[in-house]
Amino acid sequence: DSGVTQTPKHLITATGQRVTLRCSPRSGDLSVYWYQQSLDQGLQFLIQYYNGEERAKGNILERFSAQQFPDLHSELNLSSLELGDSALYFCASSGDVGGTEGTGELFFGEGSRLTVL
Amino acid sequence: AQKITQTQPGMFVQEKEAVTLDCTYDTSDPSYGLFWYKQPSSGEMIFLIYQGSYDQQNATEGRYSLNFQKARKSANLVISASQLGDSAMYFCAMREPYNTDKLIFGTGTRLQVFP
């Protein structure tokens, strides 16, 4: 158990709809990262938050948005869903930015599998 | 731009044999970290091993070792004494060292261990 909790684990919805994925990081971790893994693909970095502030942005579509709340949990909002948005969405967390703690390893949740029909 | 390349889409190995999964990287930063993660069919991402760019010795964790060749910019994962449970996707990743700590992942190698 990585200590990172993601809900829901599975989600099936229709094109054009909006969904929210939720992530609770490990206790004490300030950084939250969101990744997208499409079928048989590697992990694509979407966005990172650190202590409530956006820290880095990757290939995140304008239809997608995220935020990190004061209690450090994060939500990824996906709107106007398309078939191609079907993927496994991972949340990961880590300690201080800059690799000052340990190896800078990311701890991953089990993922939220989104299916858009 | 930083980049991770895994050129082996799939690998087969017989149980109890050793296998090497290739990973090359490209970065202009002098300080970086290299990671390997395992993703079984259940989907979770499991951290295996880490190598820092300034580490003098190759990292080892049980049956996993990282063959780090800095001049060649390669960080191959060696799994010794393969087990059926090692069948999974394996991802090489690199950490951007400054300001973000995000990991950049390769496309992965699917390893299948047969009896």
Per-residue tokens: B77 = 């994962």
Q: Is A111 on the interface with B (CB under 8 A)?
A: yes
Three-state SS for B107? coil
pLDDT digits (tens, 9 = 90+) for B58-111: 999 999 999 999 999 999 999 999 999 999 999 999 987 665 678 899 999 999
Phi, psi of B98, rounded to the nearest 5 degrees: -110, 125
What is the distance in angstroms between the Cα of A103 and the nearest Cα belonging to chain B?
7
pLDDT digits (tens, 9 = 90+) for A62-102: 999 999 999 999 999 999 999 999 999 999 998 765 444 45
| SS3 assignment for chain A | CCCCEEECCEEEECCCCCEEEEEECCCCCCEEEEEEECCCCCCEEEEEEECCEEEEECCCCCCEEEEECCCCCEEEEECCCCHHHCEEEEEEEECCCCCCCCCCCCEECCCEEEEEC
Contact B107, B6 (CB under 8 A): yes
Q: Is A110 on the interface with B (CB under 8 A)?
A: yes
Contact across the interface for A105 and B52, Cβ inside 8 Å? no
What is the distance in angstroms between the Cα of B4 and the nearest Cα belonging to chain A?
11
Three-state SS for B62? coil
Mode of pairing for the β-strands spanning B46-52 and B33-39? antiparallel
Chain position carrying tokens 């206790």: A27
pLDDT score for A101: 46
Contact across the interface for A94 and B106, Cβ inside 8 Å? no
Q: Which of A45, A55, A113 has its CB closest to that of B104? A: A45
Q: Is B54 on the interface with A (CB under 8 A)?
A: no
**Which range, of A33-47, A89-103, B35-49, averages the lowest pLDDT?**
A89-103
Average pLDDT, chain A: 91
The H or E element spanning position B27 is none
A vs B, Cβ pairs < 8 A, gives: 67
Average pLDDT, chain B: 93
**Chain B CB contacts of A110 below 8 Å:** 43-44
What is the distance in angstroms between the Cα of B15 and the nearest Cα belonging to chain A?
24
Q: Is B107 on the interface with A (CB under 8 A)?
A: yes
Contact across the interface for A98 and B97, Cβ inside 8 Å? yes
Q: Which of A64-93 are b and which e, b meaning 16 or more Cβ less than 10 Å from the residue's Cβ? A: bebebeeebebbbebeebeeebbbbbbbbb
CA distance A32 to A45: 11
Contact B4, B72 (CB under 8 A): no
Contact across the interface for A111 and B44, Cβ inside 8 Å? yes
